[in-house]
Chain A
């Protein structure tokens, strides 16, 4: 139990996306749950292999878009009808068709800002340092040409020697321990 405090997990390196997906499936079958894959580009089928749930980015975007749109429209309404009404030849104060372009732009702006910042917040970014960056091979290859699978120490089934042996059994090109700091 003691070693867990300074070990983040064990990471295995694979040369192709297909081998990674296969390894992820085997690891989940073995009962590991706190696992994560790292790839240099989005790999199709990986989310399914990891059994990732639908994420909340679309919902956040919808809320942001609605806020921008409704806020934009009612702000213009407030300006023209309540804050500074100007009677110009008896024309209606709430001339809503003229408010649509700004409403539309603010809808898009609200949605886009919440999509990006929502995605970053849910991903826990910015986070300049991460234990995995202690692994030299990870830094060299994870954002270039190799595919990594990490079993994290917080997994209830995690045991440094056993989990390393298990990962070796998946025929990776490399297995490294990840030190926590």
Chain B
């Protein structure tokens, strides 16, 4: 990895280190653990939590109505059997990917700037996977029978169809959820021990103590811990690439025009990382502001994330171009017709919005002024999140409304319940994040101490 820039980065960016100078082991510990232990719950937190909790109630009602009435409450019908459920599933699972990328791939590449953002990015992954998991489950129509998808010895001697991408999905997503949880929890153990030792009340000490499992920072323990962490990072890296690959197989294995292409796996993975980094920015910018974490989540982090967004955004743009090129080059009349429908069909406004959000707007990130403008960056992260949602909408809906035979064409429009369910999962995601920043250290304290040791020799 000797792709050093032709200039010394430190000279060009003197004002943005990965941690502001002057911090010691104790100050890092105090500052991060105080968010959980001593800071009073702010009014903003209560308001935000209340709002997101209300949206979770909306989700509960939508799910109850769905289970009472069946999937007919949604806008789906043959030929558009997938609709919002799959659009949202792919969107959420893609968002999760940046968390794993930051915690695993940047760890393997020894990127120091990942340290202060990896913890909440991992939490974001977990919560996004939780939201994603809801959709295919309820989309089955009879979610109480979802266990049919797991291989278990039944009296009917039936087994899942292991040749189907939908079963691959079950394995990919459940493995991804499990490994993300393990990775997050292993990273938390030393910090839970810190919270246990600094807890102000007995119940808190007991809860954090049980979670920390008696961690005491022994050198032998750290030795094995580091091996396990490195191995988890090594395992999570191919895993995260495989998950969105398998998700793209749901489409690419089918013969529907616009889905049946080999570009899907890499372009889905790039799109996942793109939307994930956008979501990390969406969370990081208010978080650092609300809890005065500008010392730890510096401009350096925001700028680097903006650069990753620009790079993955360009890969996604290449994917769009390639889809267009292949349909022209193949001369396949169904593919050609689909492309025409994207530009001139009934859903073309979604396609143009998609190009605007995902390709044109992010070009601003070429300019350093845009990358260091926090408000603009925040707005742009929302735009990219919207764009990536539109991308999945375009893929699912335009292809399904215009496949081979005109007699099988249709229209799709989402109902209020579709929107309510989607908004509800956003509420769930935000609520879990609010709980997380209040109950767990949002930045890895142990890794920040390591960073202090590396960046400033001599302490105290």
**A30 interface residue per 8 A CB criterion:** no
Query: Which residues on B sit within 8 Å (CB–CB) of A116?
Result: 182, 185-186, 228, 232
**A17 and B453 contacting across the interface, CB-CB below 8 Å:** yes
**B238 and A41 contacting across the interface, CB-CB below 8 Å:** no
**A38 and B218 contacting across the interface, CB-CB below 8 Å:** yes
Given A75-B151, A144-B198, also A57-B231 (CB < 8 A): yes
**A47 and B25 contacting across the interface, CB-CB below 8 Å:** no
**Chain B nearest CB, measured from A73 CB (Å):** 10
Q: Which of B157, B162, B227, B449 contacts A119 (CB 8 A)?
A: B227
**B318 interface residue per 8 A CB criterion:** no
Per-residue 0/1 for A116-157: is the Cβ within 8 Å of any B Cβ (1 yes, 0 no)? 101110110111111011000001101111000000000000
**B429 interface residue per 8 A CB criterion:** no
Query: Which residues on A sit within 8 Å (CB–CB) of B215?
Result: 125, 143
Query: Which residues on B sit within 8 Å (CB–CB) of A40?
Result: 25, 29, 190, 194, 217, 446, 449
**B197 interface residue per 8 A CB criterion:** yes
**B157 and A83 contacting across the interface, CB-CB below 8 Å:** yes
Q: How far is the CA of A72 from the CA of B232 in the complex (A)?
A: 20
Query: Which residues on A sit within 8 Å (CB–CB) of B175?
Result: 105-106, 108-109
**Chain B nearest CB, measured from A92 CB (Å):** 11
**A140 and B197 contacting across the interface, CB-CB below 8 Å:** yes
**A52 and B213 contacting across the interface, CB-CB below 8 Å:** no
Counting chain B residues whose Cβ lies within 8 A of the other chain, the interface size class is 35 or more
**B369 interface residue per 8 A CB criterion:** no
**A122 and B224 contacting across the interface, CB-CB below 8 Å:** yes
Q: How far is the CA of A129 from the CA of B26 in the complex (A)?
A: 24
**Chain A nearest CB, measured from B190 CB (Å):** 7
Query: Which residues on B sit within 8 Å (CB–CB) of A122?
Result: 224
Q: Which of B185, B220, B238, B447 contacts A123 (CB 8 A)?
A: B220
Query: Which residues on A sit within 8 Å (CB–CB) of B221?
Result: 123, 125
**B219 and A109 contacting across the interface, CB-CB below 8 Å:** no
Q: Which of B158, B220, B460 contacts A15 (CB 8 A)?
A: B460
**B26 and A142 contacting across the interface, CB-CB below 8 Å:** no
**Chain A nearest CB, measured from B386 CB (Å):** 31
**A80 interface residue per 8 A CB criterion:** yes
- Which residue from chain B places its CB closest to the CB of A17 in the assembled complex? B453
Instruction: Give the dominant DSSP class at A's interface.
Output: helix
**A170 interface residue per 8 A CB criterion:** no
Query: Which residues on A sit within 8 Å (CB–CB) of B172?
Result: 101, 105
Counting chain A residues whose Cβ lies within 8 A of the other chain, the interface size class is 35 or more
**Chain B nearest CB, measured from A177 CB (Å):** 17
Q: How far is the CA of A133 from the CA of B217 in the complex (A)?
A: 12
Query: Which residues on B sit within 8 Å (CB–CB) of A118?
Result: 228
Q: How far is the CA of A7 from the CA of B379 in the complex (A)?
A: 61
**B242 and A101 contacting across the interface, CB-CB below 8 Å:** yes
**A143 and B246 contacting across the interface, CB-CB below 8 Å:** no
Q: How far is the CA of A15 from the CA of B459 in the complex (A)?
A: 8
**A27 interface residue per 8 A CB criterion:** no
**Chain A nearest CB, measured from B365 CB (Å):** 33
**Chain A nearest CB, measured from B41 CB (Å):** 24
Q: Which of B151, B183, B209, B246 contacts A79 (CB 8 A)?
A: B151
Per-residue 0/1 for A49-62: is the Cβ within 8 Å of any B Cβ (1 yes, 0 no)? 01010010110010
Query: Which residues on A sit within 8 Å (CB–CB) of B24?
Result: 145
Q: How far is the CA of A83 from the CA of B209 in the complex (A)?
A: 47
Given A109-B179, A112-B235, also A143-B225 (CB < 8 A): no
**A55 and B26 contacting across the interface, CB-CB below 8 Å:** no
Q: How far is the CA of A121 from the CA of B433 in the complex (A)?
A: 31
Q: How far is the CA of A52 from the CA of B226 in the complex (A)?
A: 13
Within 8 A of B (CB), among A90-124: 95, 98-99, 101-102, 104-106, 108-109, 111-113, 115-116, 118-120, 122-123
Q: How far is the CA of A145 from the CA of B445 in the complex (A)?
A: 11
Can you list 18 A-B pairs with a CB-CB distance of less than 8 A? A17-B453, A38-B217, A40-B25, A41-B447, A41-B450, A42-B446, A47-B222, A58-B227, A61-B235, A75-B151, A99-B162, A101-B242, A105-B242, A105-B246, A113-B182, A115-B227, A142-B197, A145-B26
